[in-house]
Amino acid sequence: MLLAVDAMGGDNAPAEICRGAVAACERFPDLEVALVGLKPRIEPLIAETFSSATSRIHVVHAEEVISMDELPSVAIRKKRCSSLRIAMEMVRSGEAQGCISAGNTGAIVAGGVLVVGRIPGIDRPGLGVPLPAIDRVRMLIDVGATVRSKPLNLVQFALMGGLYMKHIFGVAEPKVALLANGEEDIKGDEAIAQARELLRQGPFPFIGYVEGKDIPIGPADVVACDGFTGNILLKLMEGLGTAVYSLLREEMGQRVLPKVGMLFMLPMLKELWTRFDYESYGGTPLLGVRGAVIKAHGRSKAPAIASALGVARDFVLKRGVELISQEITQGGM
Amino acid sequence: MLLAVDAMGGDNAPAEICRGAVAACERFPDLEVALVGLKPRIEPLIAETFSSATSRIHVVHAEEVISMDELPSVAIRKKRCSSLRIAMEMVRSGEAQGCISAGNTGAIVAGGVLVVGRIPGIDRPGLGVPLPAIDRVRMLIDVGATVRSKPLNLVQFALMGGLYMKHIFGVAEPKVALLANGEEDIKGDEAIAQARELLRQGPFPFIGYVEGKDIPIGPADVVACDGFTGNILLKLMEGLGTAVYSLLREEMGQRVLPKVGMLFMLPMLKELWTRFDYESYGGTPLLGVRGAVIKAHGRSKAPAIASALGVARDFVLKRGVELISQEITQGGM
C-alpha cells in the first residue's frame, strides 16, 4: 500500500515528518510511503536514518510549500506544485491510497474537496477527532472542515463518525448524538432539530442531544456538531491543558513540599498523560472524501506522524471510503 | 437596599438559600432581603439561625415553585404565584432593586425579559459568566440567554461585558473580543463579521477574533459569543473538571505512593481550588434587564448564595443598569 506524505507541512517539517515516515515503514512491512516535498532537503534526512525500511520510501519532488497562514482555498488552487497539492493529486489519481499532512488545516480540507474529491452523496466532508476520554475514546465531528452546517451535514457527520468508531475503533454499536445547549428537544436551533428527526431513522442508536459536559464523559460514542462549535471546543481543551500545566509549574516553582509530592505522583501522572496524549492517536481523519486523508497535529513529531500513517493504513485496510459510500447510497442520506 | 431572593430555586432550596441570605445580611449592614417562597418552610429556617441580621429578612409568601425541568417561557407566564415570578415582579415595581435565583436558568432569562423588562435599546439580554482564569478573571457572554445571535446581539453582549468588567471588576480598559474558529478576519460567519465591524467603532479596545484556547488564558477581558456556543463551552469546562477529579480519585484509590504525594500537595491544590471555585464569584449576571438579576449556580450552597447577593448589591451600588442604559443611548448601538 502506498501512502503520500506532505513532507513540508507542520511546525517540525521536514525533519520530524521524514523520521516519522521511516518509523512507520519499519512498523508496517506492507507500507510504502511517498514523501512529497523539496527533494534536496528530504533525501539527506532519509539517508541519515540508516534504516533498511528506506527502500520503501520514495521521494517525490515538489517545488512549493503552503504555509500555515495562507488563505487555504487560494493556496490549494494556485500552488499546483505544492507538496500538499501533489500528495493529494496522487490520491485522486489512485496512485496513493491515502495521504497525511501536519500542515495548514484549511488547505487540507480545501484540497480534500477540490483535489481528492468528495464521495458521491456527501455534501461536505467532516474532520472527526478521536478524543481520548476517561472511559473510552469518543469522536467529535466536525472540528473545523465547515463553519455552519445544514441538517444534512450534521446527519452525515454523525453517520461517518459512527462508521469510523465501529470499523476503526471496533465499537460494536456506536451511539451517536448531536451537540446542543441542553438535552431537551426544545434546545438547539432549526437545523439541529431537523438533523435530530433524520437521525432517529438512522442506522446507529441515536441518543438525541448531549451537552458540553458529555464530551469528556458521557453516553455518546460520536458527538456531531458544526465545525465552528467543534473547532472552538477542541481549542478550548488544548488551551485548558496548557493553562493548567503552566499554572502548576508556576506554583510548584515557589515551594518545596509540592515538589516532593510531585515526585511521588510522577509515575501515575505520566501514565495518565499517555492516555490523553494525542500523539498516540495520531491523526484526525477528514471523512467524506475519496481516500484516506489524515490531518496530523501541527506540532507533530516523528511518533505522531508514524501514528497518523498507521491511522491512514488502517482506514485503507478496513475500506473506510467504501463503507461510507455504501452507507450513503443505501441509507439515502 | 432591598434584594429579592427566590428561596425555592436550586438543588439545595430552601435551606441553603435561606442560610445564604442571612449570611449576606450579616456581611452587609445596608442590605435587606425579601425571601420569596413557601412561608411555612422558610420561617422556621430563618428562626433557627438565631442571627440578629434576621431583622432585615422579610418573608414574602409564594404558593408555586418553578422546577428545573419546566418549559421556561410557559412556566414564567403561567405560574404567576411562583417564587421566581414574584421576586421578579418586586424588581419590576421598583420595590426591590435586584433579585437572585439558583433555579431554572431558562425561566430566569424568560422572567428577565417578560417580567423585569429589557433596558430600552437592548435587543436581547445576555448571561455573562465571570470565569476564574490563570492570570485574571475573564467574562464569557452569552452563556445561554439566547441560542443564535444577530450581529447587534453580539455587539451588545461585548459592550455590556466590557462595562461589567470595568465597573464591577475594576479593569481600567477592558479588552473585548469575539469568539471564532480562528483569529483571521476570514473566520467566523456573516453575523460575526458584521459584529466585528461594529465593534471596531466601539468604546472599548477591540482585539478582533479570539479562539477557544484564549478563554482560559489569552488577551481578552470579555469574550462575546452566541448563547449556544457559550453554553456548550461552559458545560464542557464543568464536565472536564468533574472528569479529571473522578479520574484522579480512581487512580489514587489503587496506589500508595501517589497518595503520599497528594498529602504533600494538598495545601497548594486547595489554594488553587479556591481560585477556581465559582462559589467565591457567586453569580452570573443577566445583563441588559432593568435591575440586578443574578443567576446563582443550581448547586449553590449558602456561601455561594451570600456571594451572589454581594454581586447583586455591588451591581446596584455601581449603578449597573444606568451604565448600560447610558452606553446604549450614547453609543447608538
Residue A272 reports pLDDT greater than 70: no
Q: Is the distance from CB of B141 to CB of B284 less than 8 angstroms?
A: no
At B266-313, the pLDDT tens digits run 776 666 666 556 555 678 999 999 999 999 999 899 999 999 999 999
Closest Cβ opposite residue A181 in set B228, B242, B243: B228
Q: In this structure, what C-alpha cell is assigned to residue B134?
A: 490563570
Residues A230-236 have a mean pLDDT of 94
Q: Give residue B272's pLDDT.
A: 63
Residue A281 reports pLDDT greater than 80: no
Residue A261 reports pLDDT greater than 80: no
Angle between helices A151-167 and A190-199 (to 10 degrees): 50
Q: How far apart are CA B109 and CA B116, in angstroms?
A: 10
Q: Give residue B240's pLDDT.
A: 83
Residue A9 reports pLDDT greater than 90: yes
Consecutive H or E run containing A189: none
Q: Give residue B156's pLDDT.
A: 97
Query: Closest chain A residue to B148 measured between Cα atoms?
Result: A189
Question: Which one has a higher pLDDT value, A137 or A99?
Answer: A99
Contact B212 A236 (CB under 8 A): yes
Rg (CA), chain A: 20
Consecutive H or E run containing B323: helix B320-331
Q: Give residue B274's pLDDT.
A: 62
Give B48's contacts (C-beta < 8 A, 6+ positions apart).
none
**Amino acid (one-letter) located at A5:** V
CA angle centred on A308, ends A220 and A168, rounded to 5°? 40
Closest Cβ opposite residue A212 in set B186, B235, B251: B235
Query: Closest chain A residue to B229 measured between Cα atoms?
Result: A229
Query: Closest chain B residue to A239 measured between Cα atoms?
Result: B213
Q: Is the distance from CB of A226 to CB of A149 less than 8 angstroms?
A: yes
Give A197's contacts (C-beta < 8 A, 6+ positions apart).
none
Contacts of A229 in chain B (CB under 8 A): 228-229, 232
At A105-129, the pLDDT tens digits run 999 999 999 999 999 999 999 999 9
The alpha carbon of residue B191 and the mean position of all alpha carbons in its chain are separated, in whole angstroms, by 25
Contact A189 B264 (CB under 8 A): no
Closest by CA to A35, choosing from A48, A49, A45, A50, is: A45
Q: How long, in residues, is chain A?
A: 333
Q: Is A200 exposed, middle or buried (0-12, 13-18, 19+ CB in 10 A)?
A: exposed
Q: Give residue A186's pLDDT.
A: 84
Q: In this structure, what C-alpha cell is assigned to residue B78?
A: 403561567
Query: Closest chain B residue to A184 measured between Cα atoms?
Result: B69
Closest Cβ opposite residue A247 in set B134, B184, B236: B134
Query: Closest chain A residue to B239 measured between Cα atoms?
Result: A213
Stretches in chain B below the pLDDT threshold 50: none
Domains of chain B from N-terminus onward: 1-122+288-333 (3.40.718.10), 126-280 (3.40.718.10)
Give B323's contacts (C-beta < 8 A, 6+ positions apart).
B163, B167
The alpha carbon of residue A207 and the mean position of all alpha carbons in its chain are separated, in whole angstroms, by 24
ipTM, two decimals, is: 0.86
Closest Cβ opposite residue B233 in set A232, A242, A258: A232
Q: What is the DSSP letter of A113?
A: I
CA angle centred on B118, ends B114 and B120, rounded to 5°? 140
Closest Cβ opposite residue A232 in set B179, B218, B262: B179
Q: Is the distance from CB of A6 to CB of A87 less than 8 angstroms?
A: yes
Query: Closest chain B residue to A148 measured between Cα atoms?
Result: B189
Contacts of B217 in chain A (CB under 8 A): 239, 242-243, 246
Q: In a mutagenesis test of the A interface, which of B71, B213, B214, B271 is the best target, namely the one with the most A β-carbons within 10 Å?
A: B213
Contact B233 A236 (CB under 8 A): yes
Q: Is B154 exposed, middle or buried (0-12, 13-18, 19+ CB in 10 A)?
A: buried
Q: In this structure, what C-alpha cell is assigned to residue A143?
A: 472540528
CA distances from A317 to A39, A322, B308 (A): 29, 11, 57
Give A292's contacts (C-beta < 8 A, 6+ positions apart).
A3, A91, A97, A98, A99, A285, A311, A312, A313, A315, A316, A320, A321
Q: Give residue B332's pLDDT.
A: 58
Q: Is the distance from CB of A293 to CB of A108 less than 8 angstroms?
A: yes
CA distances from A50 to A4, A248, A301 (A): 21, 41, 19
Contact B233 A217 (CB under 8 A): no
Q: Give residue A332's pLDDT.
A: 58
Residues A148-169 have a mean pLDDT of 95
Pairing of strands A2-6, A32-37: parallel
Closest Cβ opposite residue B258 in set A212, A238, A264: A264
Contact B236 A252 (CB under 8 A): no
H/E/C letters for each residue in A212-261? Answer: HHHCCCCCCCEEECCHHHHHHHHHHHHHHHHHHHHHHHHHHHCCCHHHHH
Q: Give residue B263's pLDDT.
A: 73
Contact A212 B238 (CB under 8 A): yes
Consecutive H or E run containing A58: strand A57-61
Query: Closest chain A residue to B275 measured between Cα atoms?
Result: A247
**Amino acid (one-letter) located at A147:** V
Q: Give residue B136's pLDDT.
A: 82
Contact A232 B234 (CB under 8 A): no
Helix (H, G, I), strand (E, B) or coil at B150: coil
Contact A147 B181 (CB under 8 A): yes
Report helix, strand and coil shares of chain B as percent, to nearest 5: 50, 15, 35
Residues linked to residue B139 through DSSP beta bridges, in sequence order = B130, B222
Contacts of A150 in chain B (CB under 8 A): none
Name the minimum distance, in Å, from the CA of B259 to any CA of chain A.
8
Q: How far apart are CA B63 and CA B73, in angstroms?
A: 19
Closest by CA to A320, choosing from A129, A102, A119, is: A119
Q: How far apart are CA B72 and CA A256, in angstroms?
A: 52
Q: Give residue A184's pLDDT.
A: 86
Mean pLDDT of chain B: 91
Name the minimum distance, in Å, from the CA of B171 to any CA of chain A.
22
Under the banding of pLDDT at 50, 70 and 90, the label for residue A212 is very high
How many cross-chain Cβ pairs, A to B, lie less than 8 Å apart?
A: 169
Predicted TM-score (pTM) of the model is 0.90
Residues linked to residue A82 through DSSP beta bridges, in sequence order = A64
The conformational region for residue A25 under phi > 0 = left, psi -120 to 50 = alpha, else beta, is alpha
Q: Give residue A278's pLDDT.
A: 54
Strand arrangement of the beta sheet that strand A206-210 belongs to: A57-61, A32-37, A2-6, A98-101, A292-295, A284-287, A126-132, A137-141, A222-224, A176-179, A206-210
Name the minimum distance, in Å, from the CA of A14 to any CA of chain B.
25
Q: How far apart are CA A14 and CA A11, in angstroms?
A: 9
Q: For the beta carbon of residue A169, count every other beta carbon within 10 angstroms.
A: 15
Residue A283 reports pLDDT greater than 90: no
Q: Which residues of A92-102 are buried (b: 16+ CB within 10 A; e: fewer)?
A: beeebbbbbbb
- Cell 482564569, residue located: B133
Helix (H, G, I), strand (E, B) or coil at A2: strand
